[in-house]
Amino acid sequence: MRDFLLDDADRAFRAEVRDFLQRELAPRAADIEDRQSWDAVRHVVRALGAAGYLKLMFPDLYKGKLEHPGLTHATILSEEASYINYAFETTIATALSCAYPLHRHASERLRDTYLTPILEGTAIGAICVTEPNVGSDSAGMETRIEFDEARDEWVINGFKRYISNASVADVYIVYGLTGDGMTAVAVPKNAKGISFPRNYTFMGRRGCIVGEVKFENCRVPADHLLGDKGGGFRIMRGMFNFERAILGGSGLGVARSAFDIATAHAQTRKSFGQALGCKQLIWDKIAQMSWRIDASELITYRATKMYDAGADGKALMKEAAMAKLVATETANYCADETVQILGGDGLTKEYGRAEQLYRDARALTIVGGTSEVAKYLIAGRDLPDIRITL
């Protein structure tokens, strides 16, 4: 059994959510991948919201069957969704990354306006950190947020790119500099001065929307501030912790999906008179995938269980980064080896999903902080007596 750190309630939840996604997501997966159907994505987001699954991360709001809901269950949901279609899962993971700072740092009024609809699946959220000149080095961002005292409004100027759910999201958490540090504000889609210059075409993750968001003297009321002015970096760090643990689930889902295709093929495909899996060069690949998936699972659910037990901020940074690093590298390893084990079948859409998993997996080691950034965060904790730099 792989899920060593999960208990019976977690396993029952996994079975329940797997059934749910088989009903709601699996029949729409081809629409999402082949026709890039946003309607299909929206349908499943609504269904998840209506079933209460988008509230798993927020025990005070969750009203379902689980006695102790939390990040572990949100990550199980991500894992099971990514197993079927990683592009779809990115939409809900991003919406939850938007919900997280709203839940922790927004006023009651803002939570009613923006958070509730996201968690009910009737609205979509986005996170705006990355810019043309700033990716990994987020502290160097160029977006400016100023306070206009006369009108009691925040004024945002900047350009964000690679923003998941850009143009389809109803609310954007925007990070920018205020002179005293980084600040986060919530910006609704209909705010004056926000625009969406273009969406990108990616090699994988087909069906999810990623694009640019421009802020030109964009104004939001004073109460759209999250937390304190200048306190945005702390908010962002908390958000990344949770996002990286969830990305552990995304990586696991993709890795397991590839592994199941590879093991089925290795047992049925005959070569030189025997099943492929009889050959040492092939069973070695299966064993390598298998231990990497187990390690990813242990490391990912260690991080989620730590979070659910109250660890956060600096106390979770290393473990969350490790979950993201190990599971997303594993997804790439497994998707790559699966294509190899399938031979020509691995490269064609006509013979299954291996080629899709290979394309989808590639984004995983880049989004939410690259593998290099994750290693920096891990080593930074392991070398406390020196200051390592990126």
Ligand X SMILES: Cc1cc2nc3c(=O)[nH]c(=O)nc-3n(C[C@H](O)[C@H](O)[C@H](O)COP(=O)(O)OP(=O)(O)OC[C@H]3O[C@@H](n4cnc5c(N)ncnc54)[C@H](O)[C@@H]3O)c2cc1C
Query: Using CB under 6 A as the criterion, which residues of the chain lie in contact with ligand X when the complex forms?
Result: 94, 127-130, 135-136, 162-164, 202, 205, 210, 363, 366-367, 369-370, 372-373, 390
Residue 292 beta carbon to ligand X: minimum distance, rounded to whole angstroms: 21
The nearer residue to ligand X, 99 or 342, going by C-beta atoms, is 99
d(CA 99, CA 57): 9
Of 66 and 378, nearer to ligand X (C-beta) is 378
Minimum gap (Å) between residue 168 Cβ and ligand X: 12
User: Phi then psi for 146, rounded to 5 degrees?
Assistant: -120, 155
Tell me the closest approach of the beta carbon of residue 156 to ligand X, in angstroms: 14
Beta strands 225-226; 182-188: pairing state: antiparallel
Task: Please name which of 309, 273, 299, 269 lies closest in space to residue 286, comparing C-alpha atoms.
Answer: 269
Q: In the complex, what is the shortest distance from the CB of residue 278 to ligand X, in angstroms, rounded to a whole number?
A: 39
Instruction: Kindly tell me which of 20 and 242 has the beta carbon lying closer to ligand X.
Output: 242
Residue closer to ligand X by CB (options 238, 277) is 238
Q: How far is CA 340 from the centre of its chain?
A: 27
- Say if residues 162 and 200 touch (Cβ distance below 8 Å): yes
Q: Identify which of residues 78 and 130 has a Cβ nearer to ligand X in the complex.
A: 130
Nearer to ligand X, 95 or 306 (CB): 95
Tell me the closest approach of the beta carbon of residue 202 to ligand X, in angstroms: 6
Q: Compute CA 300 distance to the chain's CA centroid, rounded to the nearest angstrom.
A: 13
For residue 37, the minimal CB distance to ligand X (Å) is: 18
- Specify the long-range contacts of residues 281-287, CB closer than 8 Å, at least 24 apart: 282/341, 285/337, 285/340, 285/341, 286/259, 286/262
Q: Measured between alpha carbons, how far is 62 from 69 in angstroms, rounded to an integer?
A: 8
Nearest 5°: phi and psi at 127? -125, 130
Q: For tokens 């995938």, name the residue.
A: 289
